[in-house]
Amino acid sequence: MRQSRSLLIVLAVVLAAWVASLLTCAGAAAQTTAGQGVIDGQAVVASAGATAALNDLPVSLFTFVDGQRQVPPAVAQTDAQGRARFTNLNTSAHYTYTMFVKFQDAIYGSGVIGFGAGSSTTHAEVKVYESTADARALRVDQHHVVIDLDESAHTLDVLDFYEMTNAGDRTIVGAPNQQASGKRVSFHAPLPPDAVVQTIENRTPNSDIFQANGELLDTVPILPGQADLIFEYRVSYQRSTYALSLRSPYTVTALNVLLAPGISLRSARLVYADNVQATSRQFQHYSARELPADATIAIELNGLPAPLIPLDMLQWLPLAAVSVALLIALFMAYRRKPSDAAPRGQTLA
């Protein structure tokens, strides 16, 4: 009897704990139920003297769950004051949001949007800027050129890294360019004539960046503030020396050339600064400062481990072989005169 009573007590305690757990879960679910959150968003023009209309701008709201982006986004359009509202949103702390607005050929984003504890409404502001084709407000703060060596392939592997600033209050979108599928080109990055581009960071070739006429044509708008462009290319060398020209269509505050060990550099404009540790090796650091737009820096690299026969000479070997064979054939034909030819001064009977 005592055992039955003890068993009933244990079952009652377990049942009470189970019911309490269900009530707690139900309460938590009620607090995080989707459909309670509202985001009031607004696009605000930050360019001085702007008069552009803000109505009917496309707006997208992306949802992130524990940092993972969900698709598709919610979409809306702004009213005459640049406002857009999104409702029926989950207010859980696991959910965050980012709003994007397209304005004059450029897309602008908000910061991370979240709901505070016990809050179901929040406001988000997206700064947008009027666009311009004029790039005079753009300067290159640092242009880094890292030159490495692939001895087995007889190539130079070059990393180009532009750190730039748009000092104006307009987004630079550039002018349409047929070489870029008619898109607006915001930035021009010159390349050597024989460069083979390997990688371009945060760009998709033939979509938002194009290679044509010895340069990369970047179509990503440059917003006011900081921006960058990073890419790698490869050039083949055939002799122990190689001439390289560096040019920037924009003013450059500092040009830094990092050269792999074992190679020497000659340039009238670059000055040796120091050695820099990179990839467990000491790269030679040369620099130049305050370069005007379109300035060209001529560089001569020496001490390259060249192939035994320069690659540009190999293409002439077949022609040279044919020429030698023809000369030998002509020489042998000349030596082989007919034996029955009449000696000079005699006539046939």
Three-state DSSP state, 11: helix
- CA distances 272 to 217, 258, 298, Å, are 31, 10, 15
For domain 37-129, give the CATH number: 2.60.40.1120
pLDDT at 309: 52
- Would you call 322 exposed, middle or buried from its count of C-beta atoms within 10 A (0-12, 13-18, 19+)? exposed
Asked whether the whole model's pTM tops 0.85, one would answer no
Between CA 151 and CA 306 the distance in angstroms is 8
138-302: same fold as 37-129? yes
Using one digit for the tens of pLDDT, what is the confidence trace for 150-173? 999 999 999 999 999 999 999 999
* Residue 92 DSSP SS3: coil
What is the pLDDT, as a whole number, of residue 249?
A: 93
Model confidence over 317-326: pLDDT tens digits?
566 556 666 7
What residue spans define the domains of the chain?
A: 37-129, 138-302
- For the chain, the C-alpha Rg in angstroms (whole number) is 35
User: What whole-number distance in Å separates Cα of residue 285 and Cα of residue 258?
Assistant: 5
| b/e code 207-223 from CB counts within 10 Å (16+ = b) | ebbbbeeebbbbbbbbb
- 14 pLDDT higher than 60: no
Task: Output the pLDDT for position 307.
Answer: 73
| pLDDT > 60? residue 53 | yes
In this structure, the number of other CB atoms found within 10 A of the CB of residue 252 comes to 24
Q: What is the CATH number of domain 138-302?
A: 2.60.40
Percent of the chain with pLDDT over 70: 79
In the prediction, which pLDDT does 69 show? 96
Across the range 126-149, mean pLDDT stands at 96
Beta-sheet pairing, 252-259 with 138-150: parallel
The average pLDDT across 124-139 equals: 96
Specify the residue for token string 């005079």: 136
